[in-house]
Structure 1
Amino acid sequence: MLNQPTDSYIEQQLKDNLPLTHLQVINESHMHGTPTDDSHFKIVIASEAFAGKRLLQRHRTINKLLSDALAGPVHALALHTYTPDEWQQLAQAPESPACRGGSKLDN
């Protein structure tokens, strides 16, 4: 159980544990018709900690830091992980796709 709003928890965990040059935590729950408003998040993050790491290693780093949220309220997590140089070249994460259904409200 988290002791604060999920997006605040995510931001704090990442800020406390990684050297960040960019961080966006975007709550996309409203796009998915879920019964809660803390279930779908997109993280756009740039950190020197990702230098020399493959995408899977970057995602595992984030998943480990956010294990409490992933075991609780977070149903879906879109990760866009970059080094500072990669982010400087890109400066924008891909748009999230539209929800394809599967809402718990449909049952």
Structure 2
Amino acid sequence: MGSGVGLKYSRPSRISDLSRFSQRQRVVNERKLRREREREKEKEEEEEMGVTKEQVKSSLTSKLNPAHLEVIDTSGGCGASFAIEIVSEQFEGKRLLERHRLVNSSLEEEMKEIHALSIKKALTPEQWKQQQESQVSKPAA
């Protein structure tokens, strides 16, 4: 009966059994800690992805069909801040605030991750044309 059969999971009775038990426990704890760190790292990487310049362009293009669109990532690549210049026929007859609301609603999903959106220009094609002509006619200083 004293051959140790059935004592595999019992309390360690000798010092050598105690050290093996603590080694095993240490290995298990290290594995758990490693898995937790990997999960945290994956979560951080997902959060860092943010919104891309291409996603912003794609959403605005599909919803507002712009004649001109310039999107600049002003956040340094993390997708938290953008500057936009947009020209669309959908802005005809709308005030500036309504145009900005159209842009913001077009980026509804992206705005959940964007911290700053600067709409530099929201013009109709006619306004854009006039602006381009006036810039060409101005003499260089």
TM-score relative to the length of structure 1: 0.70
What is the CA distance between 1:39 and its match in structure 2?
1.1
d(CA) in 1 for partners of 2:64 and 2:91? Answer: 9
Find the partner of 2:116 among 76, 83, 88.
Answer: 76
Is the CA contact 2:65–2:88 (under 8 Å) kept in the aligned structure 1? yes
Is the CA contact 1:39–1:76 (under 8 Å) kept in the aligned structure 2? yes
Equivalent position of 1:6 in the other structure: 52
What is the CA distance between 1:13 and its match in structure 2?
0.7
Equivalent position of 1:60 in the other structure: 101
SS in 2 for 1:29: coil
1:14 corresponds to which letter in structure 2? L
Greater helix content: 2
Flag the structure with larger Rg.
2
Equivalent position of 1:17 in the other structure: 63
* RMSD across aligned positions (CA): 2.1
Identity across aligned pairs (percent)?
37
d(CA) in 2 for partners of 1:5 and 1:37? Answer: 7
The runs of 5 or more residues in structure 2 that have no matched partner are 1-45, 133-141
How many residues are matched?
84
SS in 2 for 1:38: coil
TM-score relative to the length of structure 2: 0.54
The runs of 5 or more residues in structure 1 that have no matched partner are 31-35, 92-107
Give every structure 1 segment of 4 or more consecutive aligned residues whose post-TM-superposition deviation is greater than 3 Å. none
SS in 1 for 2:109: helix
Greater strand content: 1
2:62 corresponds to which letter in structure 1? D
Greater RCO structure (CA 8 Å; 6+ sep): 1
Is the CA contact 1:44–1:81 (under 8 Å) kept in the aligned structure 2? yes
